[in-house]
Amino acid sequence: MHRHVIRRFHTGLLLRALSAASLAALASFSGGSVRAEAARPDALRVGFARVCITPEQPLWLHGYASQPRFRPFEGKLNDLYAKAMAIEDSRGERAVLITLDLCVIRAPEAAALFGRLTQRTGLARRQLLVNFSHTHSGPMIGSSDFSRVPMPAEDQQATLAYTAQLYEKIADVTLAALADLKPAELAWGTGRCDFVRNRRLYREDGSYRGMGPNPDKPVDDTVPVLRVSAPGGPVRGLVFGCACHPVTFGQENLKLSGDYASFAQEEVEASHPGVQAMFVQGCGADANSDPRCGPDAEKHVRLQGRSLAAEVGRVAKGPLEPVRGPLRVKFAEVALPLKPIPPRAELEKMTGTLAHNAKRMLAALDSGRPLPSHHQHPLALWHFGGDLTLVALSGEVVSGYARSVRRELGADRLWVAGYSNEVDGYLPDATIVAEGGYEARGLVADIGFYSADAERTLVQAVREASRALPKSSPEKIPR
Ligand SMILES: [Zn+2]
């Protein structure tokens, strides 16, 4: 209501004071159709914005629910940001990518965030895509993880106050990116990252043994890079991905940091003045940065940031493929099947990583509460003409999903992201469900262990969402 009043006030009384350019921007911002000139059908406009989300007071960090972390952070190595890229095609279709230097968002907090964002921005849910870098040295958000750590009441209050403020900042940065929409040329290419290491170790008989660097098992080491430039002019934004846990800082680190993802963004921005760098986490749930932890962690993380930034810079120089409109944005909630609830005797024996779900299943059985058979998985798909498809999966997605989606849609002109929209625990592929181990530990705020059928169900949903979308022929943009 209030927002409408302000908008009417603006359009009714202030228009004479605005320049022609800002008038066009305001009309477009209000959903109007005023344009300076008729755009080509495949033209895109892009806007960027950022807001600092570094907590004003020390909060508990999220990523390692263990003793050294049971206190607020002490000092900082990076400022953390919410960054937004708004895109609009010539038909007026719009979507906004928001990247956050934060660890996770559980299902209840995701519902609250998107409720607030749609309310404040006027965008539909499907037009908003949020990606979490998954830094393990950023602040916890929301209350969903309070039960897993011994956080005193006053620190809980500070975390909740930060979370409420964060939602408003994310809405602010979304609106600011929409207000920045300008004609743009987009292009993309792919590089490689050298510090992404599979982290699942096996015994000689092939059974799962534990966590540690395993160069013999696959990862997704691709580095997708989207370059956004002013038409014929300078680069405005570099959006890049990497599929790897930002865990170069281990649980002993108490300094606020975005880990390698923040160091890489800072380095890209330092070497490309005026450019907004945005990091998109991929299907890196079964990969850790290598080397990591120990007394040299800070040295390692700076080197990793520099090497990833150098690869982004190399790819951005071209040759690149053009990315044009029209923009088609799809969003679906896919019901992923969970395993049947194990018998009580089996639940009572579950320890270690399985205990979190086993305990809550037993409590539900005791009180006669029904347990879910499926988890609703937010799936986003952005299709740019026939040039590029961004598939954004939710949860801590293992690298097998990147391989499955590539097999299904073709590896060309495809960007597969994980850690998007909601991160309520690991999403193991069928192989990892069968093998068990860390990434098969189940949901966090919701309850359950994924079934081996979850992978097939989700890949089929991706295929459905991308069916009948046009393909274009490859065309290189020269350096
Ligand atoms: Zn993780």
Q: What is the pLDDT of residues 182-195, one digit of tens each?
A: 999 999 999 999 99
Q: Where does a domain end: 328, 356, 391?
A: 328
CA of 134 to the centre of ligand 1 (A): 7
What's the pLDDT score for residue 38?
A: 62
Task: Examine the domain organization and report whether 48 and 108 are in the same domain.
Answer: yes
Q: Look up tokens 């964002």; give the residue.
A: 117
Task: Examine the domain organization and report whether 360 and 282 are in the same domain.
Answer: no
Burial class (CB in 10 A: 0-12, 13-18, 19+), 161: middle
- For 478, other C-beta atoms within 10 Å of its C-beta total 6
Task: Examine the domain organization and report whether 199 and 70 are in the same domain.
Answer: yes
For 420-464, what is each residue's pLDDT tens digit? 999 999 999 999 999 999 999 999 999 999 999 999 999 999 999
* Residue 399 in domain: no
Count of domains observed in the chain: 2
CA of 270 to the centre of ligand 1 (A): 28
Task: Examine the domain organization and report whether 301 and 222 are in the same domain.
Answer: yes
Tokens of 106: 């559980």
Its pTM stands at 0.91
Task: Examine the domain organization and report whether 294 and 239 are in the same domain.
Answer: yes
Task: Examine the domain organization and report whether 292 and 348 are in the same domain.
Answer: no
* Residue 257 in domain: yes
| Ion ligand 1 residues within 5 Å by Cβ | 396
What's the pLDDT score for residue 411?
A: 86
Q: Look up tokens 């040299």; give the residue.
A: 296
Task: Examine the domain organization and report whether 65 and 140 are in the same domain.
Answer: yes
CA of 260 to the centre of ligand 1 (A): 14
CA of 439 to the centre of ligand 1 (A): 9
User: At residue 319, does pLDDT exceed 80?
Assistant: yes
Task: Examine the domain organization and report whether 116 and 177 are in the same domain.
Answer: yes
CA of 100 to the centre of ligand 1 (A): 15
* Residue 150 in domain: yes
What's the pLDDT score for residue 477?
A: 61
Give the mean pLDDT of 153-172: 98
CA of 160 to the centre of ligand 1 (A): 22
CA dihedral 168, 174, 176, 180 (to 10 degrees): 180
CA of 32 to the centre of ligand 1 (A): 42
CA of 138 to the centre of ligand 1 (A): 13
What's the pLDDT score for residue 30?
A: 42
Print the domain residue range for 352. Answer: 339-367
Task: Examine the domain organization and report whether 303 and 357 are in the same domain.
Answer: no
* Residue 451 in domain: no
Task: Examine the domain organization and report whether 123 and 242 are in the same domain.
Answer: yes
Give the mean pLDDT of 381-406: 97
Q: Is the dihedral of CA 100, 101, 105, 109 positive or negative?
A: negative
Task: Examine the domain organization and report whether 121 and 167 are in the same domain.
Answer: yes
What's the pLDDT score for residue 467?
A: 86
**Which helix (H) or strand (E) is 333 found in, with range?**
strand 327-337
What's the pLDDT score for residue 412?
A: 87
Tokens of 196: 């992404």
Task: Examine the domain organization and report whether 163 and 264 are in the same domain.
Answer: yes
CA of 423 to the centre of ligand 1 (A): 9
CA of 245 to the centre of ligand 1 (A): 6
What's the pLDDT score for residue 75?
A: 97
Burial class (CB in 10 A: 0-12, 13-18, 19+), 270: exposed
